[in-house]
Structure 1
Amino acid sequence: MSKNWIVAGIIIVALVVIGSVIWGFSDTAQTPLSPDSQQPTTIQGTITNVAASARVLTVEQEEHIYPVAIDRNTRVFNESGGEADFSYLKKGFDVSVEGTWTTSNSLLASVIRVTKAPAIIIYTPTDQQVVSDAVITVSGVARVFENSFMIRVRTSTTTTLFEEPVMNETGGMGEFGEFNYTFTLSKNTLPSERVFIDAFEYSARDGSQINTATVTIYVTHRQTTNVKVFFNNDRYDPQVTCSAVFEVQRVIPYTQSVGTAAIGELLLGPIDKEPGLDYYTNIPTGTKLNSLRIEQGTAYADFSKELEPGGGSCRIAAIRAQIDRTLKQFPTVRNVVISINGNVDDILQP
């Protein structure tokens, strides 16, 4: 056998060995961590769930989910390096976890360090979620100046459907608190199925937008339902009897919260061809529905302070009639109680 053949054989064997090593390294790099109770382990990722009662959380690292157990010896440090309690940890925080594997294949944490704690975290809806309900609730946690921030709903960078202030429902100043904000997406005014939801602050220093969290949802209207909303119309009521209101049919995406959706449509005011047909509303612009519940035939509708318009008794009567008739279209509603920020007395007075 010639020397050339021998050299060629050696080269081929070497290439095979090197290729096997590289292939094996590549496989190892893509394999999730294997629980090994004998070796300390550090994982870095994002908290995807917190079970406070069980003192367990899950951390996602490179698309793998790891359960992390916490005991009385576990030390927690916030993003500034200060020691914190387990209750400080929130879904959406980035963390570094040091610990050892247990026989139950969870990582028993000795140290958890928060590496990033976003000021605003949206839990629902989730990013890229497909939504078919007309009534959407945005929920999450926030640590913001004076517990107040903004939610903007838009279909592009230039087309904003609305922007509203939101307050945390829990948490003191400088602490994370929970928030819930519900709105209605009307099929009558929605120009696109893709909708962006921004939660953010306006800087107290220079008014710029800061601490922005954004999720994208896709709204599908596979099923629809009809609701009535009631407006004033001088063509049909030339004597202007104030409390005379007239129905307009709206087509909305199907929802189980149909009463809330109907009030949402009412608060939009006349749209499309309706103003040209002389329909108008006496409900002030910017009025929001805080809550709606129906108990034993009575609908309790609580509105924001904007509902209090001032003015004469005729406008007050028209406002009450619009809300009353819109809610009484439903057979489960016989009576309507209107409140403003929880106050029933001394509201909507002429």
Structure 2
Amino acid sequence: MNKLLPLLLLSFALCNGCKDSTSGEEKVGKTVESREVATLLDPDTSTPSTNVGAIRVDAPSPGDVLSPLSFQIKGSARTFENTLLYRLVFDSVLVLASGFTTADASEVGKFGSFSIQVDLTSDFSGDALLEVFEESAESGEEINKVRVPVKISASPGKKTKPVFVYFPNSKMGSLKDCKLVYPLSRELPEKSQGLIRGAVYYMLKGLRESEATEGYRDIIPEGLRLNGVSLEEGVARLDFSRQLNQIKRSCDAEALRSQIEQTLAQFQTVNAVVITAEGVNWKMGL
């Protein structure tokens, strides 16, 4: 019996070690699994992809150069009521085109092809991102989003003219009077079809390094995007992305509203400005 006791104790210790090892493996496995699930469900991931399962974009392909006048989107999809949406975002801040289309699926739950011709009136050339997605029927959130990086070709031979964008300046009284903003010059094509949109684009892109050293301040929230512009009977309506609501300080809100209003005041066709965030009236800074 005395000889067996050490053996029993040793066996007990080894078994405990086995349990600890198995438990550790279970914990690691669960952690990895949860990370994978979190990655799959993360709605903010911006990794380019032409196929997310429910939606596949065949054209344009990543890196394609689009005409500044029009381009075509082709692919296949299996979405709720066969509906999907698209959006072309230039330089992260400016929506150049957006809309919706439907896939021609023969039955519910089956894949169907889609094709749509998109007209552009772009004065800009360079990097852009085409997003094709659907909206959740329950929450309205954007899901199954395909992201295709593309380029917009330049229209040669366009003459330019100056436009002004307004920013607060800490050396010129903007810290005491939040609505004080001052003009900075930018260039747009002389015969631009979107002067308002172009001016707001430059405002969203922010300051040059030399301008920041002169006291100009950039208070625009990171990720803010212009969704669309309309002008009717002298009223300019600007719809921005939800990041507009990230402004919390009343002084910053007053300054940004003044930036927008003063930037648009240079255009004779604009008599009033209405600002919205994802279609909802933005009342800060009034």
Q: TM-score, with normalisation over the residues of structure 2?
A: 0.57
Partner of 1:289: 226
Any stretches of 5+ residues in structure 1 without a counterpart? 1-116, 154-160, 187-192, 203-208
Match of 1:224 among 150, 157, 160: 160
Deviation of 1:211 (Å): 8.5
Partner of 1:340: 277
Give me the whole-angstrom Cα distance separating, in 2, the residues matched to 1:210 and 1:269. Answer: 28
CA distance 1:298–1:200, shift in 2 (3 Å): closer
- Could you give the per-residue CA deviations for residues 97-149 of structure 1, whole angstroms, max 9, x where no partner exists? xxxxxxxxxxxxxxxxxxxx9724349xx9574x5xxxx77663454587478
Tell whether 2:234 aligns with 1:301. Answer: no
Tell whether 2:108 aligns with 1:170. Answer: no
Q: For the Cα contact (< 8 Å) 2:236–2:272, is it kept in 1?
A: yes
Partner of 1:267: 204
Partner of 1:121: 59
CA distance 1:244–1:168, shift in 2 (3 Å): same
Give me the whole-angstrom Cα distance separating, in 2, the residues matched to 1:238 and 1:211. Answer: 40
Give me the whole-angstrom Cα distance separating, in 2, the residues matched to 1:143 and 1:233. Answer: 50
- Could you give the per-residue CA deviations for residues 69-98 of structure 1, whole angstroms, max 9, x where no partner exists? xxxxxxxxxxxxxxxxxxxxxxxxxxxxxx
Larger radius of gyration: 1
Q: For the Cα contact (< 8 Å) 1:122–1:213, is it kept in 2?
A: no
Identity %: 22
Higher strand share: 1
**Greater length-normalized contact order (CA 8 Å, ≥ 6 residues apart):** 2
Any stretches of 5+ residues in structure 2 without a counterpart? 1-54, 104-108, 134-144
Deviation of 1:170 (Å): 2.8
Deviation of 1:277 (Å): 1.3
Partner of 2:257: 320
Which aligned pairs between 1:89-128 and structure 2 lie closer than 5 A? 119-122=57-60
For 2:224, what is the secondary structure of its paired residue? coil
Give me the whole-angstrom Cα distance separating, in 2, the residues matched to 1:334 and 1:151. Answer: 29
Counterpart code for 1:121: A
Higher helix share: 2
Match of 2:217 among 258, 266, 280: 280
Which aligned pairs between 1:134-153 and structure 2 lie closer than 5 A? 140-143=73-76, 147=84
